[in-house]
Amino acid sequence: MDKGIIALAADHAGFELKAALKAELEGKGREVLDLGAFGPESVDYPDFANALAKALAEGRARWGLAVCGTGIGISIALNRHRHVRAALCHDATSARLAREHNDANVLALGARLIGAEVAKECVQTFLGTAFAGGRHERRVAKLA
């Protein structure tokens, strides 16, 4: 499992799930960079997506974990950045395939759509899966 720093970002809808995932990751000895939100007050998910993308671009983190209500908005905002491959996942299988086939570097989750236990499984699977390369390399290269 890659031990790189994980940048966490969420809007108000994803704040609680982000906090639970942060505690889980830190409990397993992982280093995290928490970019907010830091409470349930209404905020705009693109601001947090942009902060996460900047952290990746600057090398302050190797991985990203983004959470909003559905995961859709924050993943759209993240994927506007050329160096980001954010994958919205709903289960461990989609998290595994996002890494294996798409070399995703950000996992996006929807706090209103999945529970904390499924989210934890997604995170562990995502971080524990390597890019398969091979035939997938050509396709991923076209994303850049």
The one catalytic residue among 81, 90, 101, 136: 101
The one catalytic residue among 68, 81, 89, 90: 68
Torsion of CA 51, 57, 61, 63, to 10 degrees: 90
* Residue 101 appears among annotated catalytic residues: yes
Q: For residue 95, how far is the Cα from the chain centroid?
A: 10
Separation between Cα atoms, residue 90 and residue 118, nearest integer Å: 8
Q: For residue 106, how far is the Cα from the chain centroid?
A: 4
* Residue 12 appears among annotated catalytic residues: no
Q: Which residues belong to the active site?
A: 68, 101
